[in-house]
A and B are shown apart, each in its own frame.
Chain A
Amino acid sequence: MIQELLALAVLLAACSGVPALLSRGPGFSSGRVSAALLVLACGAIVALAALGTALDLGAFEGFSAWAREAAGWLPRTELGLDDRFGSDPLQRWFLVPIAVLGGLSAVFGLRYWSAVRHPHSAGRVRFFLGTLVAGMLTVVAARDAFVLLVGWEAMALSAFFLIGTEDHRSEVRAAAWLYLAATHLSSLALLALFAVWHASTGSFALDPNLAIDLDPTVRNVLFVLALVGFGTKAGLWPLHFWLPTAHAQAPGHVSALLSGVLVKVGFYGLVRVTWLLGTPSWWWGAVLIALGLAAATFGIATALGQTDLKRLLAYSTVKNVGILAVGLGTAELARSFRAGDIAALALGGALLHVWTHAAGKGLLFFAASAAVQGTGTQTLDALGGLSQRMPRTALAFLVGALSISGLPPFAGFASEWLVFMSLLLLSTAPAYPVQVAASIGVAGLALVGALGVGTFVKAYGIPFLGQPRGASGAYAHDPVGPMAWPLGVLAGACIGLGLATPALSVAIDLAFTHWAGVAAAGPLRTLAPLPALAGACLALAVLVGIVALVLRRRIAQVPVAYANTWDCGYATPSARMQYTAASFSQATVEMFGRALATHHRPPRLEGFFPARATLVVQVTDIVLDRVLAPALRRIGQALAAVRVMQSGRTQAYFLYMLVLLVVLLLWRP
């Protein structure tokens, strides 16, 4: 029954953009209808997920027996949906953030990408937003490789059209093409994955019972293919090369969706395949931990060096995918040693991080988009002092930044803390190599956490604090109406999810039991004292409140004078004297030496009175700019000779086909 309703909701989401697509001109109401349909579909998904969880927990015992009996009386559908669509605890856990962020994104986009401002693309964006959400939901709900691949392609192509929305700008076209190439790489790997799966099990059904007798070599091949296919979509370093440009160039509410949940669909694929293959080899976990740590470190270090607000947020997504991979890898490693408790902590941390990162990154991208729209630029060094013009946006961004940096009492801390806990336990494991891996993991996560604090101090401080740099923010104002609501909802989630972890852990327990096949020694909230953590977070909030109140009362009693910033006696400090984004991160970035490629273009100063000059400092991506781009260029040069064949005459191409067909017909092995 739930399967049928789920399929209906997905269908509704897929079709939700049709009214907006069909209407011509700046019809605001058709856009509203589309958004309302998508919100309805997403609300239904969340409700179904909640219902499924309640049923699994044994709520409505009598009701569910009655429902099963009633369902027996209903005519059976011929669709056979039970084999193709599902909502097991793991699927439900991933369906919820997709639905919530999808709905919020539609609401935010109503004003942000209004038909008045974008008459040509508004309908298109709403249509592909619906298909993107439907595609992601299908991938997660699929129980069959065919359904999964159909959803996968729908998702991948919708994302391509959304990234290329502003296709009159060349950098947008470049980003979209790069994305398209990467998504083909991942689709290719997935086709190979399911071809091997079918060849060795004889079925396209995603059923772990089929994997029990698989040859170890085949299992390893399947794992590696999944790592490439799903890892590319997740933006797992070093396959992240397409992600930063794509997420930076897409419209803001689409970026929120791409960074907040689309990468999680890739991660879901990895979780699903590890579930499918059952008992892992130890090196799967080791590889995931190593890649995850590299992803987290490089992601956040590169993020720290960025001077473009949305690129910075995109690189921080690479870091968070790394943390997800560390969590999954630790769970796999622990599972291969049959350490259920550690696996439960690690996977629980990764699963919780899926939610907390979706809330935080969605909030940050929404707030950043509001700021970018208000100022017309996303270059950090052209922004400043926005909190005076957009106080609520600044506050929302601050909450998101604190949460995503993994700081208590916000939600992002709870999930990272669980991963830390699993690694601390793993460090006392009897096997020495595992101890070493856990120690490196803890040190790496500590480094990543500290870099994250720096990155988000910069992302918040440079554009929102201080004085405006230039006139870009003169007409900026806080978003109103439907554009403001998603900010409030997600800010609430960033605060509330952290305190709600003891309740959420029940659903995580279900998901873990489903994934591992057995329950852990105890519920997650006793393996890690989640209630104590929530209590500590609450106490911290109270403590901050008390100190703030005391200081406020004191300041009200003493005389307060207002003046310029005291810039060491300099009487007229100007906005241009403020520390810039590049200077803030320079010393930290330089510590990484050659591992982080900084591109300097120094200003040319000539003569006694040099003319205006510019300095460009940019931290480039080591994978894309140092390895991939030169390699591809060289391959292109090597293949230049083949280009002779590409004459541009259709007749010549028909000739090639004819020759090829004749050769194929003659060739009989």
Chain B
Amino acid sequence: MPVPLPEHLPMPPPGAMPAILPPWVDPRSPGAALLHVVLLVLVAPLLLGIIARVKAVVGGRRGPPLLQGYFDLVRLWRKGMVRSTTTSFVFLAGPVVALATAVGAVVFVPLADHGSVFAFPGDVVFVAGLLALGRFLTTAAALDTGSAFAGMGAAREVQYGVLAEPAFLLGAMILVKITGHRSLAGLLGGPLRDQWPAAAAPLALVAGAWAVVLLAENSRIPFDDPNTHLELTMVHDVMILDHSGPALAVALAAAAVKLAFWCALVGRVALPLDAGSAPLNLAVSVASVAVVAVVVGFIESAMARLRLTNVPKLLVSATLAAGFGLLLAGRPPM
């Protein structure tokens, strides 16, 4: 037997870290939590409409209808499909897994104060894994077509992912330090708003870093311009260039749900407002998601796409911002 430890000492001093695990299914209102998931998935295509409308209004145009995202999905779902003879089952697995992982990620996001449908300590890393799984199969499906352009998009997606993932997890670590939880429901749940006065600077840095990651992960300006269809410069849309009909509908739905996931994440950190009652809080939460979409629309109106070589710099800045936030959040104990 080796030298025995004198006695077991649990690491964080009592009180520094809540030992109670957040419940897997929030007992207060599992129905409400489930409603949030449905709401977030259903509202996802609307976010695309909001962004497009903001850009149109800023540009002095009328723009497409707010519900254009839904129209597109329905139209594609009804259409026939053209499939490349080069492709294998991976070609269809790409959109399928992308949608499943995006919906899976949304399951862990708490809206309002109801907790989330499913939560366990460490699920924040699981969510990062889900997004990475989606990225793996989306890029593999792109390579499956054998198209040079799809390969370019896949290479860029991998490159941006390499820089975005540390920024996401460092941001999550700041929240872990501030709230003491290790699940998304705990990190982004109601109590976060009580921390804002004391930890405004690190929380603002998390919101900023995650906002940059949002733009990169969803191929928005300044990382990619979803409106230009110049294949040489595209990221996400060039990877699904060969998908058509129902498969393209699934791929676009996956992209929309992913956008909703990120908007909700940033919205929960940046705007955890308290409206007084549970139904009002729900409305405020959903509104905060829409507000993030509006902000994305303004960013897209105000900026041009970055040169490809400058993209890594912006993402590294996001990681560094999260690093500074971590320093601010984890001051040595007095």
Contacts and interface: CB of A to CB of B under 8 A. Distances in A.
A562 B82 contact: yes
Contacts of B4: 517-518
A407 B139 CA distance: 14
B10 interface: yes
Nearest to B162: A450
Interface in A394-444: 394, 398, 402, 405-408, 413, 417, 420-421, 424-430, 432, 435-436, 439, 442-444
Nearest to B164: A450
Contact of A563 (B82, B135, B312): B82
Given A406-B129, A424-B173, A529 B122 contact: yes
A435 B330 CA distance: 8
A91 interface: no
Interface in A452-480: 453-454, 456-457, 460-462, 465-467
A591 B82 CA distance: 37
Nearest to A339: B11
Contacts of B88: 387-388, 391, 394, 465
Contacts of A586: 155
A543 B254 CA distance: 13
A585 interface: yes
A517 B4 CA distance: 5
A564 B3 contact: no
Given A517-B3, A587-B155, A449 B242 contact: no
Contacts of A457: 136, 139-140, 143, 154, 158
Interface stretch (A66-74, A166-174, A550-558): A550-558
A532 B122 CA distance: 10
Contacts of B319: 443
B92 A551 contact: yes
B130 interface: yes
Q: Is the interface of B mostly helix, strand, loop or mixed?
A: helix
Given A341-B11, A517-B5, A558 B136 contact: no
B3 A432 contact: no
B129 A408 contact: yes
Contact of B122 (A398, A417, A521, A561): A417
Residue in B10, B11, B90, B96 with the greatest tally of chain A CB atoms within 10 Å:
B11
B162 A447 contact: yes
Interface in A514-533: 515-518, 520-521, 528-529, 532-533
B177 A427 contact: yes
B303 interface: no
A536 B123 contact: yes
A369 B230 CA distance: 40
B146 A575 contact: yes
Interface residues of A, number: 107
A318 interface: no
A263 interface: no
Given A334-B11, A430-B13, A588-B159, A558 B245 contact: yes
A544 interface: yes
B310 interface: no
Contacts of A543: 100, 103-104
A275 B95 CA distance: 48
A428 B84 contact: no
B101 A540 contact: yes
Contacts of B326: 439
Chain B interface residue bracket vs A: 35 or more
A534 to B, nearest CB: 11
A560 interface: yes
Contacts of A209: 1
Contacts of A544: 96-97, 100
A577 interface: yes
A636 interface: no
Contacts of A444: 166
A630 interface: no
Given A453-B161, A579-B155, A532 B24 contact: yes
B83 A561 contact: yes
A587 B12 contact: no
B269 interface: no
Given A338-B5, A338-B9, A551-B250, A529 B242 contact: no
B105 to A, nearest CB: 10
Given A334-B11, A565-B145, A566-B241, A407 B132 contact: yes
A406 B97 CA distance: 16
B151 A561 contact: no
Interface in B230-284: 231, 241-242, 245-247, 250
B121 interface: yes
Nearest to B229: A568
A453 B16 CA distance: 35
Interface in A330-365: 334-335, 337-342
Contacts, number: 323
Nearest to A554: B246
Nearest to A467: B146
B147 A573 contact: yes
A664 interface: no
A215 interface: no
Given A427-B173, A451-B162, A465-B90, A540 B149 contact: no
Residue in A449, A467, A515 with the greatest tally of chain B CB atoms within 10 Å:
A449
B173 to A, nearest CB: 6
A449 B132 contact: yes
B2 A516 contact: yes
A579 B11 CA distance: 50
B216 to A, nearest CB: 12
Given A450-B165, A521-B8, A585-B155, A555 B246 contact: yes
A629 B122 CA distance: 44
Interface in A258-313: 275-279
A208 B1 contact: yes
A28 interface: no
Interface string B290-334: 000000000000000000100010000001000100100010110
Nearest to A304: B158
Contact of B246 (A335, A465, A536, A551): A551
A518 B169 contact: no
A528 B122 contact: yes
A491 B234 CA distance: 35
A517 B2 CA distance: 6
Residue in A275, A338, A454, A552 with the greatest tally of chain B CB atoms within 10 Å:
A454
Contacts of A585: 155
Contact of A558 (B80, B166, B250): B80
A212 B3 CA distance: 7
A385 B86 contact: yes
Contact of B161 (A387, A454, A515): A454
Contact of A528 (B104, B121, B151): B121
A446 interface: yes
B120 interface: yes
Given A417-B122, A558-B79, A454 B158 contact: yes
A208 B3 contact: yes
B227 interface: no
A70 to B, nearest CB: 27
A561 B80 contact: yes
A579 B151 contact: yes
B55 interface: no
Contacts of A460: 140
B126 A583 contact: no
Given A446-B166, A559-B81, 15 more contacts: A408-B126, A413-B129, A439-B170, A439-B323, A444-B166, A461-B144, A516-B2, A517-B1, A544-B97, A547-B97, A561-B83, A562-B83, A579-B150, A584-B151, A591-B159
29 contacts: A276-B2, A340-B5, A384-B146, A385-B86, A385-B146, A408-B126, A413-B126, A432-B330, A439-B173, A446-B165, A447-B165, A461-B139, A461-B154, A521-B8, A529-B122, A539-B118, A540-B100, A543-B103, A544-B97, A551-B95, A551-B96, A558-B245, A558-B246, A560-B81, A560-B83, A562-B83, A587-B308, A591-B159, A591-B163
The 5 closest A-B pairs by CB, nearest first: A579-B151, A461-B143, A466-B146, A454-B158, A278-B3
